[in-house]
Amino acid sequence: MNNLAATIEKFVSDTIAAQTATSVAAASKDIRDVMDVIKAEIVDAAKDAEDQLVADTAQIIDDTVDVVSALQADNDDSKSSLESLKDLEAVGPAITKVVAALSTTHYMDSSVPVLRHCYFHTHQHRSSWLVGNQGDLFGGVNPSAWTDSNGMG
The string of pLDDT tens digits covering residues 104-116 is: 888 888 888 888 8
Residues 87 and 40 both lie in one domain: yes
pLDDT band at residue 150 using 50, 70 and 90 as cut-offs:
low
Residues 64 and 99 both lie in one domain: yes
Residues 102 and 128 both lie in one domain: no
Q: What is the pTM of this model?
A: 0.35
Indicate the residue type of 53.
L
Please tell me the predicted confidence (pLDDT) of residue 153. 47
Residues 11 and 83 both lie in one domain: yes
Q: From residue 113, how far is each of 14, 83, 104, 107, 108 by CA, in Å?
A: 129, 40, 11, 11, 12
Residues 11 and 63 both lie in one domain: yes
Q: What is the mean pLDDT of residues 12-23?
A: 83
Q: 105 with 112: CB under 8 angstroms?
A: yes
From the number of C-beta atoms within 10 Å of its C-beta (0-12, 13-18, 19+), residue 111 rates as exposed
Q: 100 with 109: CB under 8 angstroms?
A: no
pLDDT 10s digits, 80-127: 777 777 776 777 788 888 888 888 888 888 888 888 877 767 777 777
Domain span at 96: 2-113
